[in-house]
Amino acid sequence: MKDIVTQDDVPPAGRAGECFWCYAKMGQPHEYGCATIRVPVEVEITIRGSISVPRSWDANTIEFHMNESSNCIDNQIDEIVGYNEEDCACDVAKGKYIRHLDVIEGVQRSRRLELVHNFKELPPSPEDEESQP
């Protein structure tokens, strides 16, 4: 199935009857590199910063608290980002691409199902192209 340009791809500020990002006409397929065609990928995000913990806690207790207790890791992320003057994680986080996921893996891994609805057909991965004769 091709990803066809719909009215949802034509914001009020865009040109009438065409995709805002790839300029494909209404009812025609989006260009291959169009930003509206989304695919699931696995990433690793590392955040480094400081949080406050009780003075008596050792490394094991701190790691248990962050990773295995009923405490949600979001609390630590909010605390680390909160220390940043601009309330932005850009200075304390780094992202790394791991791999493309197939759509089923993406659905299984996603906790935010609204993102899954944007997943379309995946382009062939470099590994797939290398394995073909």
Give residue 121's pLDDT: 43
Question: Within 10 Å of residue 103's Cβ, how many Cβ atoms?
Answer: 14
Give residue 86's pLDDT: 66
Coil, helix or strand for 4?
A: strand
Q: Which DSSP string do the residues of 73-126 spell out, in sequence order?
A: HHHHHHHHHHTSTTS-STTTEEEEEEEE--HHHHHHH-S-HHHHTTB-PPPPPH
DSSP 14: S
What would the two tokens of residue 64 be? 């248990």
- Interatomic CA distance for residues 18 and 70, integer angstroms: 49
The backbone torsions φ and ψ at residue 8, rounded to the nearest 5 degrees and listed phi first, read -65, -25
Handedness of CA 120, 126, 130, 133 (dihedral sign): positive
DSSP 18: B
Per-block mean pLDDT, blocks of 10 residues, the chain (133 long): 77 82 90 85 87 94 89 79 69 88 58 42 48 49
Give residue 84's pLDDT: 58
Q: Which DSSP string do the residues of 25-86 spell out, in sequence order?
A: BTTSBPPTT-TT-B--EEEEEEE-------TT--HHHHHHHHHTSSS-HHHHHHHHHHTSTT
Contact status, residue 26 vs residue 5, Cβ threshold 8 Å: yes
Q: Would the pTM of this model clear 0.75, i.e. be above it?
A: no
